[in-house]
């Protein structure tokens, strides 16, 4: 991924660190990413522009400006769509994903340990079924202190691994937080309501159609793009699920637009 990004931006002398972490202010408009470059990045959100565009790339300048105004550093055009009504045959809506300068990269992380207990990365924590979820409260100065307390609870419960599911402010005045920590056995079973796939780098999982019938989503999102198959739709939906901090997702509906125009995708999000 680093080699791809560096090759792409060598001519304009934009360092890789700008994309990954540095919030450097400049006067340049947002820059385009190829499909390959955007593949492992998590989008900030979707934007669109409407104008007289015969092709999606004709809207690049307008997309770049809109992305820049939204505080993004990069964009990737995902599709073009003819409006339902209009006065011109070249009137079109062009959609794009936009990315911040520190857009998170979807890569797997090495496992760490705390007090001898494995700290599962999010990908494994969501993939496997915990044997217990414990709630506790306390006043903590940083996440390191929270991890220390969570791992000690895991050790007391004879857990092989743990994952801190959520941290919420329970008493703001006294700086007290409420923490949910999931505990796992070494041979923990895979959750039976997700579509099984390789867990490396997966920070949100697609649920089955049976689970969709009984699980209640906390949000439904919409995005657009041109897709060749359901696998591409699912991959895009997963990125948007991660961007919205969802644990699981389900592609509820996909519009049947004509070839080479943007499809509208509706996705349910779950914790």
Pairing outcome for strands 161-171 and 176-184: antiparallel
Q: What pLDDT is stored for residue 200 in this prediction?
A: 64
Looking at the chain, the domain(s) classified CATH 3.30.1660.10 span 2-99, 112-184, 205-270
Let me know the angle formed at the C-alpha of 36 by 30 and 42, rounded to the nearest 5 degrees.
60
d(CA 90, CA 119): 54
Domain 2-99 CATH class label: alpha beta
Residues 6+ positions from 147 with CB-CB distance below 8 Å: 114, 119, 164
User: Tokens in use for 27?
Assistant: 């006067």
- Residue 129: Cβ-neighbour burial (10 angstroms; 0-12, 13-18, 19+): middle
Q: What pLDDT is stored for residue 174 in this prediction?
A: 66
The CATH code for residues 112-184 is 3.30.1660.10
d(CA 121, CA 175): 26
Q: What pLDDT is stored for residue 25 in this prediction?
A: 43
Pairing outcome for strands 31-32 and 74-81: parallel
Is-contact 265 251, C-beta < 8 A? yes
Is-contact 232 186, C-beta < 8 A? no
The listed CATH number (2.60.40.420, 1.10.287.370, 1.10.760.10, 3.30.1660.10) that belongs to domain 205-270: 3.30.1660.10
d(CA 106, CA 238): 11
Q: What pLDDT is stored for residue 101 in this prediction?
A: 78
Half-sphere exposure (Cβ direction) of 258: Cα atoms closer than 13 Å: 4
Question: Tokens 């509820």 identify what position?
Answer: 252
d(CA 216, CA 2): 39
Q: What pLDDT is stored for residue 87 in this prediction?
A: 54
List of the chain residues with pLDDT < 50: 1-27, 107-108
Is-contact 241 267, C-beta < 8 A? yes
Kindly report the number of other CB atoms within 10 A of residue 159's CB atom.
23
- pTM of the full predicted structure? 0.74
d(CA 44, CA 75): 10
d(CA 24, CA 11): 18
């Amino acid at each position: 991924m680093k080699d791809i990004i560096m090759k792409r931006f060598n001519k304009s002398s934009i360092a890789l660190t700008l994309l990954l972490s540095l919030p450097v202010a400049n006067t340049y408009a947002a820059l385009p990413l190829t499909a390959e470059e955007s593949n492992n990045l998590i989008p900030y959100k979707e934007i669109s522009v409407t104008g007289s565009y015969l092709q999606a790339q004709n809207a690049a300048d307008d997309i770049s400006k809109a992305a820049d105004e939204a505080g993004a550093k990069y964009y990737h055009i995902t599709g073009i769509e003819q409006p339902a009504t209009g006065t011109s045959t070249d009137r079109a809506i062009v959609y794009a994903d936009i990315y911040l300068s520190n857009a998170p990269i979807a890569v797997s992380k090495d496992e760490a340990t705390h007090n001898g207990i494995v700290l599962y990365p999010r990908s494994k924590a969501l993939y496997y079924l915990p044997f217990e979820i414990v709630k506790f409260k306390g006043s903590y100065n940083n996440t390191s202190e929270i991890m220390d307390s969570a791992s000690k609870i895991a050790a007391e419960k004879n857990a092989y691994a743990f994952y801190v599911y959520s941290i919420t402010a329970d008493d703001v005045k006294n700086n007290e937080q409420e923490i949910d920590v999931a505990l796992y056995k070494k041979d923990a079973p895979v959750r039976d309501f997700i579509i099984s796939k390789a867990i490396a780098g997966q920070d949100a999982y697609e649920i089955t159609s049976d689970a969709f019938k009984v699980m209640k989503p906390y949000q439904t999102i919409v995005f657009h793009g041109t897709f060749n198959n359901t696998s591409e739709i699912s991959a895009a939906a997963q990125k948007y699920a991660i961007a919205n901090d969802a644990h699981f997702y389900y592609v509820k509906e996909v519009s049947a637009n004509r070839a080479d125009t943007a499809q509208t995708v509706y996705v349910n999000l779950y914790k």
